[in-house]
Structure 1
Amino acid sequence: MHGDGAGYSPRKTAAALTYLHGFGNEHSSEAVPGALPEGRNSPQRAPLGLYAEQVSGTAFTQPRADNRRSWLYRVRPSAAHPALTRTDNGALASAPFTAEPDPNRMRWDPLPEPAQGTDFLAGLWTLGGNGDAATRTGMAVHLYHANAPMERVFGNADGELLIVPERGGLLVRTEFGLLAADPGEVLLVPRGVRMRVEPLDGTARGYVCENYGHPFRLPELGPIGANGLANARDFRAPVAAYEEDDDAAREGGVEVVTKYCGNLWRAVYDHSPLDVVAWHGNHVPYVYDLRRFNVIGSISYDHPDPSVFTVLTAPSDTPGLAGVDFVVFAPRWLVGEDTFRPPYFHRNVMSEYMGLIEGGYDAKTGGGFVPGGGSLHSMMSAHGPDRATYERASTVELAPSKVEDGLAFMFETRWPVVTTGRAVTAGHLQRDYDGVWRGLERHFTGG
Structure 2
Amino acid sequence: MTADTKNYSYLSGFGNQHASEALQGALPVGQNTPQKVPYGLYAEQLSGTAFTAPRAENQRSWLYRIKPSVCHTPFQQTPSPNLVRSFATGRADSECESTPNQLRWSPFPLPTHGGVDFVHGMHTLAGAGQPSVRNGLAIHVYLANQDMHASAFYSSDGEFLIVPQQGRLDIQTEFGHLMVEPNEICVIPRGVRYAVRLPDGPSRGYILEVFDRHFELPELGPIGANGLANARDFLYPTAAYEDKDDLEYTIINKYQGQLFSIHQPHCPFDVVAWHGNFAPYKYDLRRFCTVNAVSFDHLDPSIFTVLTARSSTPGVAIADFVIFPPRWMVAENTFRPPYYHRNCMSEFMGLISGVYDAKAEGFLPGGASLHSTMSAHGPDAATFAKASTEDLKPFKLRPDGLAFMFETSLMLSLTKWALQKDQPGGKMLQANYYECWGGLKKYFDPKNRDGRWGEESKAEQAGKK
AA aligned to 2:430 is: Q
CA distance in 1, matches of 2:97, 2:167: 35
2:382 is the alignment partner of 1:388: yes
CA distance in 2, matches of 1:304, 1:234: 25
AA aligned to 1:368 is: G
Using structure 2 for the length normalisation, give the TM-score.
0.91
Using structure 1 for the length normalisation, give the TM-score.
0.94
Q: Kindly tell me: are residues 129 and 44 of structure 1, through their superposed partners in 2, closer, same or farther at Cα, counting changes over 3 Å?
A: same
The 3-state SS of whatever aligns with 1:445 is coil
Q: Kindly tell me: are residues 2 and 164 of structure 1, through their superposed partners in 2, closer, same or farther at Cα, counting changes over 3 Å?
A: farther
CA distance in 1, matches of 2:391, 2:321: 33
Quote the offset at 1:379 in angstroms. 0.5
Which of 246, 249, 253 matches 1:250? 246
2:462 aligns with: none
Q: Mind listing any 5+ residue stretches in structure 2 that lack a counterpart? A: 90-95, 423-427, 448-465
Q: Mind listing any 5+ residue stretches in structure 1 that lack a counterpart? A: none
1:63 aligns with: 54
Identity level (%): 55
Quote the offset at 1:46 in angstroms. 1.3
2:168 aligns with: 169
2:131 aligns with: 133
2:83 is the alignment partner of 1:83: no
Which of 94, 104, 116 matches 1:107? 104
Quote the offset at 1:426 in angstroms. 3.8
CA deviations 1:283-339 (Å, max 9, x no partner) are 111111111110011111101000110000000111111000000001111111111
Matches within 5 A, 1:266-415: 266-365=261-360, 367-403=361-397, 404-415=399-410
Matches within 5 A, 1:170-189: 170-189=169-188
CA deviations 1:255-292 (Å, max 9, x no partner) are 11011111110011111111111000111111111111
CA distance in 1, matches of 2:179, 2:301: 28
The 3-state SS of whatever aligns with 1:424 is coil
2:460 aligns with: none
AA aligned to 1:121 is: V
Q: Is contact 1:97–1:129 with CA below 8 Å preserved after alignment?
A: no
Quote the offset at 1:47 in angstroms. 1.2
Q: Is contact 2:353–2:365 with CA below 8 Å preserved after alignment?
A: yes
AA aligned to 1:311 is: V
Q: Is contact 1:350–1:415 with CA below 8 Å preserved after alignment?
A: yes
CA distance in 2, matches of 1:63, 1:313: 19
AA aligned to 2:420 is: T
Q: Is contact 1:156–1:193 with CA below 8 Å preserved after alignment?
A: yes
Which of 404, 411, 415 matches 1:416? 411
1:232 aligns with: 231
Quote the offset at 1:2 in angstroms. 9.8
1:197 aligns with: 196
Quote the offset at 1:94 in angstroms. 4.5
2:434 aligns with: 434
Tell which structure's C-alpha radius of gyration is larger: 2
CA distance in 2, matches of 1:65, 1:93: 34
1:265 aligns with: 260
Q: How many residues align?
A: 433
CA distance in 2, matches of 1:128, 1:418: 5
Quote the offset at 1:24 in angstroms. 0.5
Q: What root-mean-square deviation, in Å, do the aligned CA atoms of Structure 1 and Structure 2 show? A: 1.6
CA distance in 1, matches of 2:343, 2:400: 27
2:118 aligns with: 120
CA distance in 2, matches of 1:51, 1:446: 79
CA distance in 2, matches of 1:97, 1:332: 40
